[in-house]
């Protein structure tokens, strides 16, 4: 911290930068542009772009940094059965459709310069946290992690 130099960084595959990257997956970019249009151009809660409180929230126990990997902007829900934008009837790639159904809790190792140590949640997690939405990074206390889902 004294030097102000970047030590390490960890990208989120669901950040706005990554989803709108012209070199990235065009299906992700199309989904994000469709959602942005629904929120901003249709004046359907444009402030929603800044309301995902789990993004950028971190906690640490001195060994790991914990964060939530989540969509920067979720898809808008249909306000009528005739609307074309909703998670249920969107024409999304399997990866985007899967990301709509959950977020992930990630532990990044401090001694290994931010390398992913483990993650929970998602479809591949067959435990109790399968298809969970984590409401924030965990509270490390007394050698345990307390997290809201």
- pLDDT one-digit tens code per residue, 44-70: 777 777 777 788 889 999 999 999 999
Is residue 5 one of the residues assigned to a domain?
no
Is residue 90 one of the residues assigned to a domain?
yes
User: What is this structure's pTM?
Assistant: 0.81
| Residue 16: its H or E element | helix 16-19
Is residue 57 one of the residues assigned to a domain?
yes
- Model confidence pLDDT, tens digit, residues 136-147: 999 999 999 999
Q: What gap in Å lies between CA 61 and CA 140, rounded to an integer?
A: 6
- Model confidence pLDDT, tens digit, residues 66-125: 999 998 888 876 555 555 444 545 677 888 888 888 899 999 999 999 999 999 988 776
Is residue 32 one of the residues assigned to a domain?
yes
Interstrand relation of 115-120 and 144-146 (parallel, antiparallel or unpaired) = unpaired
Is residue 9 one of the residues assigned to a domain?
no
CA 9, 13, 19 angle in degrees (round to 5)? Answer: 120
Is residue 11 one of the residues assigned to a domain?
no
Q: What gap in Å lies between CA 114 and CA 50, rounded to an integer?
A: 25
Instruction: Give the residue numbers spanning the domain of 104.
Output: 16-146
């Amino acid at each position: 911290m004294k030097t102000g130099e970047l030590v390490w960084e960890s990208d989120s595959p669901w950040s706005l930068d990554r989803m709108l990257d012209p070199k990235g997956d065009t299906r992700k970019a199309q989904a994000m542009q469709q959602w942005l249009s629904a929120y901003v151009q249709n004046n359907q809660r444009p402030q929603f772009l800044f309301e995902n409180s789990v993004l950028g929230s971190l906690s640490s126990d001195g060994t790991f940094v914990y964060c939530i990997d989540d969509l920067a902007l979720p898809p808008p829900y249909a306000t009528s059965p005739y609307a074309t934008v909703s998670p249920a009837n969107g024409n999304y790639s399997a990866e985007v459709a899967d990301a709509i159904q959950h977020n992930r809790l990630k532990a990044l190792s401090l001694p290994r310069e931010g390398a992913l140590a483990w993650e929970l949640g998602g479809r591949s997690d067959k435990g109790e946290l399968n298809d969970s939405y984590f409401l924030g990074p965990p509270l490390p206390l007394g050698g345990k992690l307390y997290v809201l889902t």
